[in-house]
Amino acid sequence: MCGFVGLFEFKESLEFARARALDMAKTIRHRGPDWSGVYVNDRAVLAHERLSIVDIDHGAQPLIDSSARRVLAVNGEIYNHLALRQELKRTHPWTTNSDCEIILYLYDEYGPAVCKMLSGIFAFALFDERQNEFFIARDHLGIVPLYIGWGIDGTSYVASEMKALDDVCETIQEFPPGHYYTSRDRQFVKWYDPEWAHTVPARKVSLPALRAALDSAVKQQLMCDVPYGVLISGGLDSSLIAAIVAQHRFKRIETGEVEEAWWPRLHSFSVGLEGAPDMQYARKVAAHIGTVHHEIIFTIEEGLDALKDVIRHLETFDVTSIRAATPMYLMARRIKSMGIKMVLSGEGADEVFGGYLYFHMAPTAEEFHQETVRKLFALSKYDCCRANKATAAWGVETRVPFLDKDFLDYAMSIDPADKMCPGKRIEKYILREAFRDLLPEDVLWRQKEQFSDGVGYNWIDCLKQQAAQTVTDEMLAQAADRFPKQTPTSKEGYLYRMIFDSIFKNPTACLTVPVGPSIACSSPAAFRWSQEFTKMDDPSGRAVKGIHVCAIDAI
């Protein structure tokens, strides 16, 4: 994972703009500790911080199309870059074997349609020297972060993380996922608008097709020239991804699985408090699939000590995200210390298949599907933000195959009735059935456990206790006076907002963070499903009473 910043149409001198861009880039250097690059023009400056994953020797950025005179800075991975070369109709001045260079030449031939052609995770800024125009785009669900801002003098800024914009912009906002923005039109254009987002699909599930689609997504995301690993929480989702990776670890994906893998020993990682429920299951999965397994044990004190750093890196005060990101942040540091630069994880399965426990209460297939769609398009502010930034803080890239664009096209086109939980059927039943032979039975049929719960229940309990000791009842009652925008609704949320505001001073920074009851129960649809939701302000899975730790006949 990399990071970049861009300045366009600035009014200051070129020397000032270049110096400002370099200062901004330093704030996100953790995302790309391997190399720095900068491009300057009297209308644009692009600065890039590189984490080298593909074409380590020649993939430095910004990338330049010397023929068309366009310059590109990218944060992301284009998994189908080799296949896309066949879509080019003209000869182009290739200078690297980087997966990202294809964007320059696809844009040269297809313009903004390039976004729909890419299979991957990406955010990029492209500057056209001849036209003095810029083009900015972000991947389909916002798996990779991106922010845009404007200065009081009219300068346009873009950056991989908000912290780079905090003290230079008058206004800041999250760059919307699945959109692009051009200097010519000055508006966000939605390029990702799948049919399943607007209709209730009727196609019945094919378990072999479901299995093939996920296997394909995992396989293409193994494109990598550096040592990689897998995260295993001990739950179904990450365990499935790890098991599929283990099947492909012996051959290089880049060569069509012809050449031997450079690093055939697959390392896996889990994190938790001493005695955490997830750890024993993760250990069992690792033994089953044959990984070199590493358990990262953290203490409550270490987690509390890291809170401010976690909020600075995540750029949020969302309770769910911070609870889960803190163990992930601590784990990522250990992963990087072992020489691993990329990991695959299981984010997204719960959104695609309705895996959160409150989905048991969905009254109709239509409402079930609408809720999965809502949650998928909110991920950039929650799970994608957490998975990307918590690991990028230490220069580690996280890939999420469940959110692969092609996999979504199949999985989200399944009749939602096939995904529902009638009677006592366990959540994500069809996913479990499709991979019935791949995992130990007690892992395959293990009930959903939210990551922030599974790392040890004491973790959340201590966070609540810390908040209760810091935030009084009177402070919470007057929260709207202190925080008139995005007002926190709990003491824990109040604590995180205090820390956030001590770091980010721009008055519009808080507007990038949604507030209110937990995203697991903030939908009007979910409120209709059960009166219980109207009373909830705790995003823990344990709060869904009657479902968590209940006797579900899974099989």
Residues comprising the chain, all counted: 555
CA atoms within 13 A on the CB side of 452: 24
| Residues designated catalytic | 2
In order of start, what are the domains of the chain with their CATH numbers?
Answer: 3-193 (3.60.20.10), 201-446 (3.40.50.620)
Q: 435 with 251: CB under 8 angstroms?
A: no
Q: Is 345 annotated as a binding residue?
A: yes
Q: Are strands 397-399 and 342-344 parallel, antiparallel or unpaired?
A: parallel
Strands (E), 277-376: 292-297, 342-344
Q: Do 81 and 37 meet the contact criterion of CB atoms below 8 Å apart? A: no
The two structure tokens encoding residue 116:
């729909």
271 annotated ligand-binding residue: yes
Q: Which of 429, 473, 466 is nearest to 447 (CA)?
A: 429
pTM for this one? 0.94
Q: What is the pLDDT along the chain (555 residues), one digit of tens a residue?
A: 799 999 999 999 999 999 999 999 999 999 999 999 999 999 999 999 999 988 888 778 999 999 999 999 999 999 999 999 999 999 999 999 899 999 999 999 999 999 999 999 999 999 999 999 999 999 999 999 999 999 999 999 999 999 999 999 999 999 999 999 999 999 999 999 999 999 999 999 999 999 999 999 999 999 999 999 999 999 999 999 999 999 999 989 888 888 998 888 999 999 999 988 889 999 999 999 999 999 999 999 999 999 999 999 999 999 999 999 999 999 999 999 999 999 999 999 999 999 998 899 999 999 999 999 999 999 999 999 999 999 999 999 999 999 999 999 999 999 999 999 998 899 999 999 999 999 999 999 998 765 545 576 789 999 999 999 999 999 999 999 999 999 999 999 999 999 999 999 999 999 999 987 544 445 556 667 876 655 555 544 544 555 544 433 333
Q: E strands within 62-205? A: 63-65, 70-78, 120-128, 133-138, 147-150, 156-159, 171-174, 179-182, 188-190
* Structural contact between residues 35 and 2, judged by C-beta atoms closer than 8 angstroms: no
